[in-house]
Amino acid sequence: MRFWRTLVGKLWITIICLVAFILLSMGLFLLPYIDTNFTNPGAVKQLFVIVGMIGFSLTTFFALFLFTKITQPMQRLIQAADSVRKGKYDTRLSLRTSDEIGVLSNTFNHMAEELERTIRSLNHEKEHLSSVLRSMNDAVITLDGNGYVILTNPPGDRMLQMWGDLPEEEGDPAKGSPSSPSDSGNAAKVPRPLMEMFHRILAQEGDQSMNIHVKKGVWSVHMAPLTSDGEIRGAVAVLRDVTEEVRLEKMRRDFVANVSHEIRTPLSMMQGYSEALLDGMATSPEESAELVQVIHDESLRMGRLVRDLLDLARMEAGHTDMPMRDVDFRELAERVYRKFLVRAKDHEIALRLELGESRLLLAHANEDRLEQVLTNLLDNAFRHTPDGGEIVIGAHRETRREGPALHVSVRDSGVGIPADDLPFVFERFYKADKARVRGESGGTGLGLSIVKNIVDAHGGTIHAESELGKGTVFHLLLPVEKPQER
């Protein structure tokens, strides 16, 4: 800063001008006296020079005094204020004077101390809020009045990335936002699934809660307005992934409906035929025996359903007693093969066993449960394979990254399963289209679900491959060696 633009410079120039004006005025009034007493012009000039030097020296000394007492403290105050502006809130002044400068210094120190305390408190609150948001499993998204994201937590960031590639629909209200991207930098825009709720918030309709479906997932959303001075300046949305809860609730409803349906059918038949017997509709012992046989068959069917439900419930709860020991899978497969030979001959189905020459030993398996697996898979294959078809039981060892495994397959030449149904074949009460099932008593719809639970208990995996009109193959991978205990 130039000297004459400072306070001291301006005072110095003002005093010099004032002294010069006084000297000139005094010179004009004292000029007659000077002419009479100082006849030598050189003496007059010397007098004016001496007086001017004395006046200049006095004003300069006064300017330096002002610079020491006023300008230097003011410069230090300016530097301290600039430091506070740059974020150094611990800056303090050490001026010890009793004048106005000292009072100003003390006031500045108090102001800086209060500002530092306030900033520290705000930072603590911000860190506390950030910790709370980071620890939340729910996604939190804060939006400004223009629909731009201003604050999120990690789950909210992941959700925005997951929803970032959603296709924009024609007439999307997000395109008609009153704000431009320059107003909020590169801030993300409110996701399209939340746009309708956000507009309701701006229309002052109060808190909004609803479930939204995005990418085969279900999200529970609660959005509340952010107000300031009675005006809505944004909104905060809390989102929770409830896909699993919705799926389980649907499974529960389907389970109740399917159980009711499966039990109602045999009960209705048992009730109808028993009423027929009571009403004497059977005119001969043969008809009575036929009605009794139907009642007996339906009671067995209902018993199988109840037994399968209990087995499945115990398996899913982990309460099934499943002692593990060495099992020769070759002997097991041959026993099951012989058990189904009669059924295969009755329906003219070619049942083949392909086990190769290698040893098929399992070091950690339950023979009874594996027999149940093969029985359920073969029963399923027989019910979906027309007369004259083919069913093949195969098994061989494989070397995998996790260790040696036994690959078991059950292949049929039935009508197959649609690709849309394949992901659901192991769910409870799944059944193929009844138009594709052979003309015999259908299963309970729990067989494949029980199979999957047994395979999982052995540490294995199972999956199905199918093509309509060409049959279905169930692949099982069972670990050969006993898993290491951790």
Count the domains in the chain: 3
pLDDT of residue 409: 92
DSSP letter string, 410-422: EEE-SS---TTTG
Distance of CA 395 to the CA centre of its chain: 42
236: nearest Cα among 192, 190, 172, 176 = 190
Tens of pLDDT along 303-341?
Answer: 777 776 777 677 666 666 678 888 898 898 998 898 888
The whole-number pLDDT of residue 50 equals: 75
Clarify whether residues 430 and 338 are in a common domain. yes
**Inter-residue contact 62 to 88 (CB < 8 Å):** no
Structure tokens at 113: 């101390």
**Is the confidence at residue 93, as pLDDT, over 60?**
yes
pTM, to two decimals: 0.49
337 CB burial (10 A radius; 0-12, 13-18, 19+)? middle
> Which has more pLDDT, 367 or 306?
367
Please check whether residue 176 lies inside any domain of the structure.
no
Question: Which of 18-22, 258-262, 305-309, 346-350 tops mean pLDDT?
Answer: 346-350
Look at residue 256 and tell me if it is in a domain. no
Say which DSSP state 183 is in: G
Of the three residues 223, 244, 265, the one that is the final residue of a domain is: 244
Strand partners, 473: 411, 465
Scanning 318-366, the segments in alpha helix (DSSP H) are 329-346
Q: Check which CATH number belongs to the domain holding 367 and give it.
A: 3.30.565.10
User: With the C-alpha atoms ordered 198, 204, 207, 209, is the resulting torsion angle positive or negative?
Assistant: negative
Banded model confidence at residue 179, pLDDT cuts 50, 70, 90: very low
Q: Which of 36-50, 248-262, 428-442 has the highest mean pLDDT?
A: 248-262
3-class secondary-structure state, position 483:
coil
The residue ranges of DSSP E strands in 61-215, in sequence order, are: 139-144, 149-152, 208-214
Q: What is the DSSP letter of 189?
A: B
Do 329 and 475 lie in one domain? The reply is: yes
% of the chain residues with pLDDT over 90: 5
- Does residue 475 have a pLDDT over 90? yes
Nearest to 450, CA basis, from 302, 307, 315? 315
User: Does one domain contain both 160 and 89?
Assistant: no
> Residue type for 353, please?
L
Question: Which residue carries 């099982």 as its tokens?
Answer: 476
What is the share, in percent, of the chain residues with pLDDT greater than 70?
74
Q: Is 419 part of any domain?
A: yes
Residue 407 has pLDDT above 60, yes or no: yes
Same structural domain, 61 and 140: no
Question: Which of 202, 219, 244 is where one domain is finished?
Answer: 244
95 and 145 inside one domain: no
Could you tell me the pLDDT band of residue 439, with boundaries at 50, 70 and 90? Answer: very low
Residue 181's pLDDT is 40
Between 175 and 393, the more confident residue is 393
Q: What pLDDT is stored for residue 438 in this prediction?
A: 41
State the pLDDT at residue 33: 62
pLDDT at 183: 43
Q: Are 404 and 363 in contact (CB under 8 A)?
A: no
105 and 152 in a single domain? The answer is: no
How far is 255 from 234, CA to CA, in rounded Å? 44
Q: Is residue 291 part of a domain?
A: no
Compute the mean pLDDT over every residue in the chain, rounded to the nearest whole number. Answer: 78
Cα–Cα distance, 144 to 163 (Å, whole number): 19
Among 214, 244, 274, identify where a domain stops: 244
The parent domain of residue 362 ranges over: 323-485
**What pLDDT is recorded for position 172?**
43
Average pLDDT for 24-31: 64
Q: Is 479 domain-assigned?
A: yes
Residue 441: pLDDT band with limits 50, 70, 90: very low
Residue 61 and residue 54: Cα distance in Å, rounded? 11
Quick one: average pLDDT of 400-421? 86
pLDDT in tens, 340-366: 888 888 888 999 998 877 888 888 888
Tell whether 361 and 475 lie within a shared domain: yes
Dump pLDDT digits (tens) for 163-177.
877 665 533 444 444
Same domain, 470 and 346: yes
pLDDT at position 483 is 66
pLDDT at 391: 92
Do both 101 and 29 map to the same domain? yes
> Considering the domain boundaries, does residue 226 fall inside one?
yes
Q: What is the CATH number of the domain that holds 196?
A: 3.30.450.20
Same domain? 111 vs 141: no
Q: Does 276 map to a domain? A: no
Tens of pLDDT, residues 264-294: 767 877 888 788 888 777 778 888 888 888 8
User: Lowest-confidence range among 32-36, 158-162, 326-330, 407-411?
Assistant: 32-36
Q: Is the dihedral of CA 20, 26, 27, 28 positive or negative?
A: positive
Which carries the bigger pLDDT value, residue 343 or residue 178? 343
Residues 346 and 474 in one domain: yes
What is the rounded average pLDDT of the residues 188-198?
83
Please determine, for residue 474, whether its predicted confidence score (pLDDT) is greater than 60: yes
Confidence of residue 31 (pLDDT cuts 50, 70, 90): low
Higher pLDDT, 443 or 402: 402
> For residue 312, is it within any domain?
no
Handedness of CA 186, 191, 194, 199 (dihedral sign): positive
Do 456 and 333 have their domain in common?
yes
pLDDT the model gives residue 271: 82
